[in-house]
Amino acid sequence: MIVAFRIISCRFGGALKPTDIDPLWVHVTCAWFRPEVSFASDEKMEPALGILSIPSNSFVK
pLDDT tens digits for range 6-33: 555 566 678 899 999 988 888 888 888 8
Q: Report whether 12 contacts 19 (CB < 8 A).
A: no
Place 57 in a pLDDT band, splitting at 50, 70 and 90. confident
Would you state the pLDDT for residue 41? Answer: 96
Burial code (b: 16+ CB inside 10 Å, e: under 16) for 20-37 equals: eeeebbbbeebbeebeeb
Q: Report the amino acid identity of residue 37.
A: V
Residue closest to 35 by CA, chosen among 21, 45, 50: 50
Query: Rounded to two decimals, what is the model's pTM?
Result: 0.73
